[in-house]
Amino acid sequence: MSNGKGHSVGRRFSAYPLSPSLSPMTSFLTPFLTQRGRTALLYLLPTATLAVAVAGVSLTAAAKPPAAPKKPTNAAPTFARDVAPLVDKYCIGCHTADAPSGGVVLAGLTKTNTLMKNRKDWEQVASNISSKHMPPMGMPAPSDAEREKLVAHIEGLYSAIDCKINDPGRVTMRRLNRAEYNNTVRDLTGLDLRLSDDFPSDDVGYGFDNIGDVLSLSPILMEKYLSAAGKIAQATVKAPEDMIAGRTWEGSKLAAFGGFDAPGTEGRALFSAGTVAVPYAFPLPGKYTIRVKTWQQKAGDGDAEVRIEIGGKEIKTLPVSATDSRKPQTLVVETFVQGGEQPVGATFTNDYYREKDPNPALNGDRNLFIESIEVAGPNNVDTATLAKLAAASPAQTRLFAPGKSATGETERARKILRAFALRAFRRPPTLAETDRLVSLYGIARKNKESFERGIQLGMQGILASPNFLYRAERETGETRDLTDYELAARLSYFLWSSTPDDTLLTLAATKQLHKPEVLKAQAKRMLASPKAVALTDNFAGQWLQLRKLDRVSPDPTQFPQWDESLRSAMREETRRYFSAVVREDRSVLEFLDSDWTYLNGRLAKHYGVTNVTGDKFVRVKLSGGRRGGVLTQASVLTITSNPTRTSPVKRGKWVLDNLLNTPPPPPPPGVGELPDDAKGKEALTGTLRERLEKHRADPSCASCHSRMDPIGFGLENFDAIGAWRERDGTAAIDATGTLPDGKSFDGSGQLRKVLAGKKLLFTKAMTEKLLTYAIGRGVESTDRCNVGDMADTVAAKQYRFSAVVEQIVLSEPFRKRRTAPGDIIAPKRGAKTASIR
């Protein structure tokens, strides 16, 4: 099944073996790696959805949308009388079955019994006629009154159906994406571990990477989750035994830390003065033992010497007597270390090389070889002291706080694990779920491991559970309001890309969050939080396609001023601009045009602004009319260009896609692309505009390019990396254009004014984009009545960004969900779970 964006919408989980070597801290999982063991694990951890993630279940969404009501009885004669004659007069000539313009065939579709079957085509007809993209210039066109009549009847027909359907839509159970996983772990533990940076990249649907239909779970990702669960638990909870540190780097593991490869050794060779230094985090102050295994290639009348260092400071310098790689020497030093991350190094201090000494015994080349470096300690610290030091960590103190009032260890463990599960599952765990988590704690205690180790195992169970990895919403088989806890999760992942905080969970527990005034107040509070930067990184980064900036590579011969500092400055300007609109609750129309931005010295020089210097970004008032809004920021201008030249087509398409939400259809098969200067010099004659005019002369290209190219021409004063120019080579820039609706402009300033005049169209477009991001699914036809109403309300509230967010969180698609029987199939306990379809 496809979502229409080139992505599969069914969720697939394949059965696969789990390797017991995935995480040393998850040894408790080893007995569950067989098929029978997986069934046991289903019992130990939350059952219904864990079967999907751990047992290898194949699950495909099978929800059926509610049946549409019957068409209004007066639709047929109205369409036949008022619409079909206009379509026959102005459209059929170019949209025949033999050579359909844009691939759309309208011949034969004017019969009333085809209206629902061919809805997509008719909605495109209405959109193109309303925007005056059709009929193309030079062809007979309907009058404004005829356009209005035609569009009103087509849109009215479908709206009459859609707006009567009480369908909030169905959201596929969503896995946490990489950004959400990192943020959630940070807010649960207080530790910014960023473990998901090592996860496979997330798929994208409808322009965003938080769409449930495309967030699949692969075997390798499940392995990463299990490994990460152990790392998070160990980083958060310090068992006394964890405080006794020890690590050894040897052989190839030393390769990244200095020295050279050399025959006869797997370690590192130091042929002249040099150092092999490994990074190490000393867990606490104390005495540590450093061991360096080494040998020398002897030369001269002395031995090689090794200076052992911590943090770049000498601990001790020792001679090396061993000369056989098969029998290296181990140098040992013990020293007090304050703690914290410091490199541990071995430095060759007395290189020697001579080849023409009168005394042959003095000739030779002295070299040093480091086979391994080991750190152990702290030494001679009693268990009680270690436990006290472990408990002092802020993350552990916060985690253990709920257990303070407990009278026994098991009750204490229950309270700690239940409180953590509440925050991790984003709802209270059931009694059975809590019992299973406490049983994991009990496994460690039965093995005579510490209380802290037991909590670690319980945490791993929570962090490996689909109740944590997935944002599950209860399936009831009917359309329903979300629970307060489900609303808290939707709200927090929408605005923060993270788990609900204590305020949201308290409001959910008291059943207050679903109240409209409470929802609005919480949205306002959350937008003011520093965590709302997630909207910039994860919504704006994808809506404005800012993430693509990391992948562009302008031609260095044509743009020698391009470098990484300029790329970074471009990205930061757009990030700060979007964040300011959110933080200051400015009008969303300022994304189209404004008189301010953020610049540092590097970007100011690129823009020709003279009063900004240094690396610090400052707010700048723009003058001259060249720039304003996001469209003329260098980040957007660069990602919409080719490596060697600008692309009016890409720039125009970017506006249609992202600012107006009126994307052109894909190009017809076989239509060639305008070559870059570097690719096809023989085919390139005239200015870029003239070449595009020739390209647009092809009737199969004209309909779409008449919409895209004029917008791009208005931005031609900006080169391929966003710098202002008056000429393209020897030709003067022609930045004039005329849109299909007849509006003309000359240059970027007038283009921005034209676009800013499309206030409601842009507001609907942005609302639809933000709604898609908020609910994790594409906008459907039944949502568009909601989107239209939301946009009208936003306009009445001066287009404030908070008004868009407020309308989304109050909307039915956000507050409700449609479910259907059979969406989630939970295996019966003891049943085979290798494949459930």
SS3 567: helix
- 597-626 pLDDT, tens per residue? 999 999 999 999 999 999 999 999 999 999
Residue with the bigger pLDDT between 288 and 103: it is 288
pLDDT at 738 > cutoff 50: yes
Instruction: Tell me the pLDDT of the chain averaged across its residues.
Output: 84
- 483-537 pLDDT, tens per residue? 999 999 999 999 999 999 999 999 999 999 999 999 999 999 999 999 999 999 9
Residue 449's closest CA among 383, 404, 510, 522? 383
User: What pLDDT is stored for residue 144 in this prediction?
Assistant: 81
Question: Token pair for residue 340?
Answer: 């914290």
pLDDT at 25 > cutoff 50: no
Is the pTM above the cut of 0.95?
A: no
Residue with the bigger pLDDT between 486 and 34: it is 486
Q: Lowest-confidence range among 4-13, 162-171, 214-223?
A: 4-13
Inter-residue contact 14 to 223 (CB < 8 Å): no
Using CA atoms, how far apart are residues 652 and 662, in angstroms rounded to an integer?
11
User: What pLDDT is stored for residue 695 in this prediction?
Assistant: 54
Residue 180's closest CA among 424, 450, 417, 512? 424
Residue 48's pLDDT band (cuts 50, 70, 90)? very low
* Residue partners of 452: CB distance under 8 A and separation at least 6: 237, 238, 239, 240, 242, 387, 390, 396
User: What pLDDT is stored for residue 43 in this prediction?
Assistant: 34
Residue 183's closest CA among 532, 547, 528? 532
- 57-105 pLDDT, tens per residue? 333 333 344 444 444 444 444 677 777 888 888 887 788 767 677 667 7
Peptide bond into 200 cis (omega under 30): no
pLDDT at 317 > cutoff 80: yes
User: What pLDDT is stored for residue 93 in this prediction?
Assistant: 76
User: What pLDDT is stored for residue 108 in this prediction?
Assistant: 66
User: What pLDDT is stored for residue 683 in this prediction?
Assistant: 46
Question: Token pair for residue 664?
Answer: 């052109």
Residue with the bigger pLDDT between 340 and 438: it is 438
Residue with the bigger pLDDT between 597 and 125: it is 597
Pairing of strands 274-282, 340-348: antiparallel
DSSP 831: S
Using CA atoms, how far apart are residues 713 and 758, in angstroms rounded to an integer?
19
Superfamily of domain 245-380: Galactose-binding domain-like (2.60.120.260)
Residue with the bigger pLDDT between 48 and 644: it is 644
* Residue partners of 500: CB distance under 8 A and separation at least 6: 423, 426, 488, 489, 491, 492, 508
User: What pLDDT is stored for residue 756 in this prediction?
Assistant: 96
Average pLDDT over residues 246-268: 83
Inter-residue contact 628 to 622 (CB < 8 Å): yes
pLDDT exceeding 70 applies to what percent of the chain?
81
- 619-647 pLDDT, tens per residue? 999 999 999 999 999 999 999 999 999 99
Residue 701's pLDDT band (cuts 50, 70, 90)? low
SS3 405: coil
* Residue partners of 107: CB distance under 8 A and separation at least 6: 92, 95, 96, 97
pLDDT at 749 > cutoff 80: yes
- 777-809 pLDDT, tens per residue? 999 888 888 899 999 999 999 999 999 999 999
Rounded to 10 degrees, the C-alpha dihedral 485/491/497/501 comes to: -60
pLDDT at 835 > cutoff 50: no
Average pLDDT over residues 725-740: 92
Using CA atoms, how far apart are residues 417 and 403, in angstroms rounded to an integer?
9
What DSSP assignment string belongs to 41-106? HHHHS-HHHHHHHHTT--------PPPPPPPPTTHHHHIIIIIHHHHHHHTGGGS-SSS-GGG---
User: What pLDDT is stored for residue 354 in this prediction?
Assistant: 86
Q: Write down the H helix ranges in 623-730.
A: 634-639, 648-654, 688-696, 699-713
SS3 710: helix
User: What pLDDT is stored for residue 831 in this prediction?
Assistant: 34
Residue 499's closest CA among 778, 179, 218? 179
Residue 675's pLDDT band (cuts 50, 70, 90)? low
Distances (CA, A) of 627 to 45, 545, 569, 607, 622: 56, 19, 16, 9, 7
Inter-residue contact 709 to 696 (CB < 8 Å): yes
Using CA atoms, how far apart are residues 333 and 338, in angstroms rounded to an integer?
16
User: What pLDDT is stored for residue 263 in this prediction?
Assistant: 76
pLDDT exceeding 90 applies to what percent of the chain?
59
Using CA atoms, how far apart are residues 284 and 6, in angstroms rounded to an integer?
52
Distances (CA, A) of 496 to 334, 533, 814: 47, 7, 16
Using CA atoms, how far apart are residues 747 and 716, in angstroms rounded to an integer?
8
Using CA atoms, how far apart are residues 173 and 469, in angstroms rounded to an integer?
10
Q: How many CB atoms lie within 10 A of CB 47?
A: 21
Using CA atoms, how far apart are residues 141 and 137, in angstroms rounded to an integer?
8
Residue with the bigger pLDDT between 314 and 832: it is 314
Distances (CA, A) of 759 to 145, 659, 754, 766: 22, 10, 10, 11
Using CA atoms, how far apart are residues 496 and 389, in angstroms rounded to an integer?
33
Average pLDDT over residues 34-48: 37
Residue 272's pLDDT band (cuts 50, 70, 90)? confident
DSSP 302: B
- 413-439 pLDDT, tens per residue? 999 999 999 999 999 999 999 999 999
Average pLDDT over residues 174-191: 98
| Positive or negative torsion for Cα 642, 647, 649, 650 | positive
CA atoms within 13 A on the CB side of 535: 27
Residue extents of the structural domains in the chain: 1-66+174-244+383-479+818-837, 75-162, 245-380, 538-756, 759-817
Q: Which of 25-29, 160-164, 231-235 has the highest mean pLDDT?
A: 231-235
Q: How many CB atoms lie within 10 A of CB 356?
A: 7
Residue 679's closest CA among 690, 691, 668? 691
CA atoms within 13 A on the CB side of 667: 17
